[in-house]
Amino acid sequence: MLTVEDLTITYNNKKVLSNFNISLNQGDIFALLGDSGSGKSSALKFIAGLNTTSKGNVKLDGKRLSHNGEHLISPESREVGMVFQDYALFPHMSVEKNICFGISHQSKKIRQSRVKELLLLIDLPGIEKKYPHQLSGGEQQRVALARALAPSPKLLLLDEPFSSLDKSHREQLVAQVRDILKKARVTSILVTHDDQEATKFADIIGHINNKSLTIE
Amino acid sequence: MPIFVVAFSWLLPEHELWVHFSENLLSELVQSTLILLLGVGIGVTLLGTVLAYLVVMVEFPGRKWLEWALFLPFAIPAYVLAFVYLGVFDYAGYAQVWMREVLGLPGFDVRSGSWAIILTFVLVFYPYVYMMARASFKRQKLNMIEVSRLLGAGPLRTFFQVSLPLARPAVAAGLLVTLMETLADFGVVSLFNYDTFTTAIYSAWGDFRSIEVASQLASLLVLVAFFLIYFEKKARGQAKYYSADVTNKKPYHAKGVTAWFISLFVFSVFMLSFAMPMLQLILWGWESIAEEWSVKYIDLINSTVTLTILAALITVILATILALPSRCKKDSIWLKSVTRLATLGYALPGSVMAVGLLYGINQISIINIYFGGESVNHIIYGSITLLLFAYVSRFMAIAYSSIEASAQQIKPVFTQTARLLGASRIRLISKVYLPMMAPGILAGGLLVAVDVMKELPATYLLRPFGWDTLAIQTYELSAEGLFERAAVPALIMVLFGSLLMVVFQYLDKKSTR
């Protein structure tokens, strides 16, 4: 279970978001809607432990991750996965190496079977040896998702992952990714500025309006 | 031309002298040159990459000013750093005197072995790797590092598996420039009495008066340089993983002891490569300025400034013409080859350039005399044409790469928009291209100016009578062991150079903001 309390986001000493409180159960999919500059991506980064200028408390499965703005657990050990708008796949690694990056401590056998299993899940079997630049935008996005899911994170953060895809691909992928996340029972937060996308993807929707969050 | 000429020298062998060189010296030359290249290569790669990574990716006390301060060693010519360190650590230098008299330790010969000379080169040339790696790390997406961290990779693993592989082409390019500079160096190796191909070329020309053997040795050097170029091109060819957005956010914040340890490390590199040598130069200069300063310095400064400005201007104008975006450039093999040929000179050591040009002029004179004409030697040798030619061809690549980078920002849409708004080709160039390329042109010009001012080997061989520069004066005094006096011209040169570097950094800062 994830709880975020009293999250305040500041840019250049100016408050853009305050009193941000959410509580999600395992497997919940939450969509966070807001205009650009409303602090929604910064909220995601804070939950991931990457942002240091904001304040708030984050708890995941009973473990305190951040308290009063101080990150008690580093991003490396949070068991939180993230998918970015531009995928951020490592261009010098094959699909297989990208997916295995977060599970390098496992044995080779386990790694290989995990890659197979995840490629089936994202419906792209047999592309292990391909490089990111050989894949289409939608394929790259799904590989980025597989990479984030590989270490079985307790929480998955998605920062506008569909925004650089064209409309027809986007609708298809939104449904596919939702299915994948539901199957894997991962708690997820999606940041987007597209109402329709949020409705199709999430169980719970939050809006950022006038520097505060309202939940539908 | 110099390349063809030195290759041509094999047709006119001076047999005995060549046999003497190849039997007695060649294997030793190859060995000592290789040891030097290997040591310097490992040193600059480690130091340059680590420093660049720290200033781009980690927040630590003093990072902001150290990031810029680490560029300053560019302003110090290699031979100046060499004579400062020799002056301090030589048998009679005060570091050794102190060690012997106060600590009672035995003295040592700083010139024996290769560690001291390798260290000197590393301190002087690391900025090449630092500069290129820094630019490459800055272009890396912050997301990439953040993903790696969220997948559980610590700073070291992220460095080795993500950041470093992405920056590898840039590191390789910096490394190769360093290796070429090391190969081309004449000042440091001769001050340290260390034999390399370059010193052998001088010896063949200076001691034995054999331009043929000098050319033959030079052609071997060209072969090594071409080998290096080939690898550089290969390394660059794969460099397609750049992203354009430059980020100034630091993914890592060092805390406590680690932060101070990093600061101390970066600060000591700055101290050793710039601040301490500068301080020593100022002390020596202060002691000897009354003795050393004379009217001739006005001439020295005059000729240095004249040559620097002329060479920088010509280079920048030619490089700008080559770098202007043009529709035909993409398709024309001819234009592509001209550009490639024009930028090959940077792989050519100044000594090879000089020997090639001298030998070429000599051959023209011989042919001229054969057909009843006169020797052209005195006309060419007496003017600065040859020297300027050498500077321009040697430093063209530096100007070109800087100007080309700014030309690449001119997207086809700008050209199309200007054309649709009725701009003629001339108006397009003067109102759109040149203003957009201006920062690159200025930066390229500044880098060339710093390099021309420091240049020693080609200047040494090609300067006409009465055209001594500050670099020549510095080298000649320090070669005689007159370090205190050499500090005066060196200091003037370093001050000019630092000024140019400060302007360069200001431009760089503006463009990455």
A101 lies in the same domain as A161? no
Q: What is the pLDDT of residue B241?
A: 37
A147 to B241: CB separation less than 8 angstroms, yes or no: no
Mean pLDDT, to the nearest integer, of B115-141? 87
Q: Does B171 touch chain A (CB under 8 A)?
A: no
A10 lies in the same domain as A61? yes
Residue B331 clears pLDDT 60, i.e. is over it? no
How far apart are the CA of B134 and the nearest CA of chain A, in angstroms?
19
A24 pLDDT tier (thresholds 50, 70, 90): very high
Give the CATH number for residue A41. 3.40.50.300
DSSP code string of B14-33: -HHHHHHHHHHTHHHHHHHH
Q: What is the pLDDT of residue B123?
A: 93
Residue B239 clears pLDDT 70, i.e. is over it? no
Is the torsion defined by CA of B158, B160, B165, B169 positive or negative? positive
Interface of A with B in 25-54 (CB under 8 A): 45, 48, 50, 52
Structure token digits, residue B93: 């230098």
Host domain of residue A140: 87-152
Among residues A152, A180, A201, the one where a domain terminates is A152
Compare CB distances from B150 to A82, A91, A133 and report the shortest one's residue.
A82
Q: Which of A52-56, B107-111, B118-122, B238-242 has the lowest mean pLDDT?
A: B238-242
Alpha-carbon gap, residue B437 to B322, rounded angstroms: 13
A125 lies in the same domain as A188? no
Residue B126 clears pLDDT 70, i.e. is over it? yes
Q: Which of B332-341, B382-391, B460-469 has the lowest mean pLDDT?
A: B332-341
Q: What is the pLDDT of residue A111?
A: 93
Query: What is the number of structural domains in chain A?
Result: 2
Query: Pick the residue with more confidence: A96 or B378?
Result: A96
With beta carbons less than 8 A apart as the criterion, state whether B61 and B260 touch. Answer: yes
Report the DSSP beta bridge partners of residue A207.
A33, A214
B240 pLDDT tier (thresholds 50, 70, 90): very low
Closest to B199 (Cα-Cα) out of B179, B214, B210:
B214
Burial class for B247, CB neighbours closer than 10 Å (0-12, 13-18, 19+): middle
A92 to B241: CB separation less than 8 angstroms, yes or no: yes
Q: Tell me the whole-structure pTM to 2 decimals.
A: 0.80
- B168-180 confidence digits (pLDDT tens): 878 887 888 788 8
Alpha-carbon gap, residue B169 to B356, rounded angstroms: 31
Is the torsion defined by CA of B401, B403, B408, B409 positive or negative? positive
Query: Pick the residue with more confidence: A111 or B204?
Result: A111
With beta carbons less than 8 A apart as the criterion, state whether A36 and A91 touch. Answer: no
Q: What is the pLDDT of residue B413?
A: 75
- A193-202 confidence digits (pLDDT tens): 888 899 999 9
Helix (H, G, I), strand (E, B) or coil at B463: coil
Q: What is the pLDDT of residue B329?
A: 54
Helix axes A137-149, B142-150, angle to 10 degrees: 30
Among residues A112, A135, A152, the one where a domain terminates is A152
Homologous superfamily of domain range B2-512: MetI-like (1.10.3720.10)
Q: What is the pLDDT of residue B13?
A: 59
A129 lies in the same domain as A175? no
Q: Which of A83-87, B230-234, B440-444 has the lowest mean pLDDT?
A: B230-234
A92 to B165: CB separation less than 8 angstroms, yes or no: yes
CA angle B44, B46, B48 (to 5 degrees): 60
DSSP code string of B205-259: IIIS--HHHHHHHHHHHHHHHHHHHHHHHHHHHT-----S------SEE--HHHH
ipTM higher than the 0.95 cut: no
- B79-98 confidence digits (pLDDT tens): 888 888 888 877 777 777 77
Mean pLDDT rounded to a whole number for chain B? 80
pLDDT over 90, % of chain A: 33
Report the DSSP beta bridge partners of residue A30.
A189, A204
Q: What is the pLDDT of residue A113?
A: 93
- Region of residue B398 (left: phi > 0; alpha: psi -120 to 50; beta: else): alpha
Mean pLDDT, to the nearest integer, of A183-191? 90
Compare CB distances from A76 to B153, B166, B241 and report the shortest one's residue.
B153
B466 pLDDT tier (thresholds 50, 70, 90): confident
Residue B8 clears pLDDT 70, i.e. is over it? no
- B471-499 confidence digits (pLDDT tens): 988 888 888 878 888 888 989 999 998 88
How far apart are the CA of B344 and the nearest CA of chain A, in angstroms?
29
Alpha-carbon gap, residue B216 to A175, rounded angstroms: 71
Query: Pick the residue with more confidence: A203 or B30?
Result: A203
Q: What is the pLDDT of residue B66?
A: 92
Among residues A152, A174, A194, the one where a domain terminates is A152
Residue B246 clears pLDDT 60, i.e. is over it? no
Contacts of A131 in chain B (CB under 8 A): none
- DSSP secondary structure code for residue B74 in this structure: G
A2 lies in the same domain as A72? yes
Helix (H, G, I), strand (E, B) or coil at B357: helix
Q: What is the pLDDT of residue B456?
A: 83
Q: Does A101 touch chain B (CB under 8 A)?
A: yes
A75 lies in the same domain as A161? yes
Interface of B with A in 247-286 (CB under 8 A): 251, 253
Residue B353 clears pLDDT 90, i.e. is over it? no
pLDDT over 70, % of chain B: 84
- B296-315 confidence digits (pLDDT tens): 888 889 889 999 999 999 99
Residue B364 clears pLDDT 70, i.e. is over it? yes
A80 to B151: CB separation less than 8 angstroms, yes or no: no
B144 to A88: CB separation less than 8 angstroms, yes or no: yes
Q: What is the pLDDT of residue B40?
A: 94
Give every CB contact of residue B124 below 8 A, 6+ residues apart in sequence.
Answer: B73, B76, B78, B81, B82, B188, B273
Q: Does B149 touch chain A (CB under 8 A)?
A: yes
Report the 10 Å Cβ neighbour count for A166: 9
